[in-house]
Chains A and B, each alone.
Chain A
Amino acid sequence: MSPAQRFIGRSRDALIAAGVALALWQGIVWATGVPAFILPGPWRVATTLVANIGLIADHAMITIAEVLIGLVVGAALGAVTALHLMVSPAARRIALPIMVFSQAVPVFALAPILTLWLGYGMASKIAMALLIIYFPVVSTFYDGLRRTDPGLIDLARTMGATPARTLLFLRLPAGLPAFGSGLRLAAVYAPIGAVIGEWVGASKGLGYLMLLANGRAKTDLMFASLFVLAAFAVALYALVSVLTRRMTSWSRESTDTI
């Protein structure tokens, strides 16, 4: 099967799955006769989405900006941290236990304090997204750097390589597939972080809009916002996935995983 055929096949499967889910949803609404403020049908959600597209887009832009900034800054910080852990035994001794301990604190619990410190604007949400992705990026990339084939490292030593060049030309490229996995995880987590930040305290963003709509029993608007958030999250994952695979096209890992 050619890649194009495979793509068409997979798209068709996805459309069928979406169609079945929508039909099931509409069927439940019809069969149970629940009022629209409890569970609106998909058609009603769609018309609400179209009618409020300007409002939703305004809020979506805020959330998207928070997620992207958090993702880029978090990934960069995570990559630098992983490289630092690799070269510095002192950093490993001191920072690793702190990092593991910090993971025992649920990031959700930090949201109120972040809002207190950084205010109701975008900064506290960016910080949430960043915090939630930082550890997965560090831990996957550090693992990848560490697990470079020891034979290659031996070879580098017999070749008279300097430690810095071994890191740059062997460990770094060897760790890229693992870094790619970390980034894909980050793409899934970052929107969660931003939305939780918005729930705790915000005046803009999709999370805020969902909470607002929910409170006013505008359940259709809540679902429409949720749909946009989910669509963005999926698109972000797909984009990061394509980019990271292109970055490591030589790795078997990059074709095996979804």
Chain B
Amino acid sequence: MTQAPDIRLSGDFHHAGRPLFSGLDFTVAAGGWTCLLGPSGVGKSTILRLIAGLDTGGSFSGKIAAGDGEPVAGRIAFMAQSDLLAPWLDVFGNVTLGARLRGEASDRTRARTLIEQVGLAEHAEKRPASLSGGMRQRVALARVLMEDRPIVLLDEPFAALDARTRAEMQELAFETLKGRTVLLVTHDPAEAVRLGDHIFILSEEGLAGIEAPALPSIREVDAPETLAMQARLFRALRGGVAT
């Protein structure tokens, strides 16, 4: 993996003739977790899809660039709320999907190691239908790690999991994605507080940066600082003052 760069997105976005956001200036810091919080429909996922170079159904005018001047395309890995596993492939086949889609030989040993790292060594030959939701997200995480990209975009990847599995997945993702530039889009303040080195709230009024707790991430769910921060974020999300 090359050095993880920061990414800066600035500009306006229009959807169906109406502006979704304008004059936005958003930076995803290099080599750490940036959490983008906000209610549904304000454009969190749109920002993520713009950086990923995916269709957004609207028009963007502005600039998306990596801090090192290299193109962003080809350097990102993507993980969404639904696991996006191919149901006809087993765990191993899903983890090595990227290489097959590019027509490259896949590094089988590395794939085995990564499957082991996410704790699914015994399930490598199983298809997604026989795995639990948490296990399927582990497969998706192993696939992201297999791609070995410096930039990782996460679109509410833990939202559909139960509380315990979610906490475990957050820890596993934090551990395994160290050193990469990670953008996490979420609507869960607790998640943002646990993981974020930098936290932003996107609302109808625009983007607001929130100072993350002084504790280094990943933070304990029940630390007083975490809980206090969570309460502040929750108030900010409900339209209160976020200071």
Contacts and interface: CB of A to CB of B under 8 A. Distances in A.
Interface of A: 149, 151-152, 154-162, 165-166, 169-170, 173-174, 176, 248, 250-252
A165 B101 contact: yes
Contact of B78 (A158, A170, A251): A158
| Max chain A Cβ within 10 angstroms of own Cβ: one of B80, B84, B88, B153 | B88
A233 B82 CA distance: 42
Given A154-B78, A158-B76, A251 B87 contact: yes
Contact of B82 (A151, A169, A176, A248): A151
Given A151-B80, A165-B103, A166-B101, A157 B86 contact: no
A160 B102 contact: yes
Contact of A160 (B49, B54, B101): B101
B98 A157 contact: no
Contact of A173 (B76, B78, B88, B101): B88
Interface in B88-125: 88, 97-98, 100-103
B84 A152 contact: yes
Interface of B: 49, 52-55, 74, 76-78, 80, 82, 84, 86-88, 97-98, 100-103, 127, 129, 147, 153
B119 to A, nearest CB: 22
Nearest to A150: B55
A160 B80 CA distance: 17
Given A160-B74, A160-B101, A162-B103, 18 more contacts: A154-B52, A155-B78, A156-B101, A157-B54, A158-B52, A158-B54, A158-B76, A158-B77, A159-B102, A159-B147, A160-B102, A169-B100, A170-B86, A170-B101, A173-B88, A250-B87, A250-B88, A251-B87
A248 B88 CA distance: 8
Those 9 A-B pairs whose CB atoms lie nearest each other, nearest first: A161-B101, A159-B98, A158-B78, A250-B88, A151-B84, A173-B88, A154-B54, A155-B84, A250-B87
B73 to A, nearest CB: 8
A229 B147 CA distance: 55
A149 B81 CA distance: 13
A189 to B, nearest CB: 27
Given A158-B77, A250-B127, A165 B84 contact: no
Contact of A149 (B84, B98, B101): B84
23 contacts: A151-B84, A152-B84, A152-B86, A154-B55, A154-B78, A155-B78, A155-B80, A158-B77, A158-B78, A158-B153, A159-B101, A160-B98, A160-B101, A160-B102, A161-B102, A162-B102, A162-B103, A166-B101, A169-B97, A174-B88, A176-B88, A248-B88, A251-B88
B83 to A, nearest CB: 9
A161 B98 CA distance: 7
Contacts of A165: 100-103
B53 A157 contact: yes
A5 to B, nearest CB: 23
Nearest to A173: B88
Contacts of B100: 165, 169
A251 B97 CA distance: 19
B161 to A, nearest CB: 17
Contacts of A155: 78, 80, 84
B180 to A, nearest CB: 14
A99 B42 CA distance: 43
B147 to A, nearest CB: 7
A173 B129 CA distance: 16
Nearest to A247: B88
Nearest to A166: B101
Nearest to A155: B84
A251 B77 CA distance: 27
Contacts of A152: 84, 86
Given A158-B53, A158-B54, A252-B129, A169 B101 contact: yes
Contacts of B74: 160
Contacts of A248: 88
Contacts of B86: 152, 170, 173-174
| Max chain B Cβ within 10 angstroms of own Cβ: one of A155, A161, A250, A252 | A155
A127 B49 CA distance: 49
Nearest to A154: B54
Nearest to B104: A160
Contacts of B54: 154, 157-158
Contacts of B82: 149, 151
Contacts of B88: 173-174, 176, 248, 250-251
A126 to B, nearest CB: 33
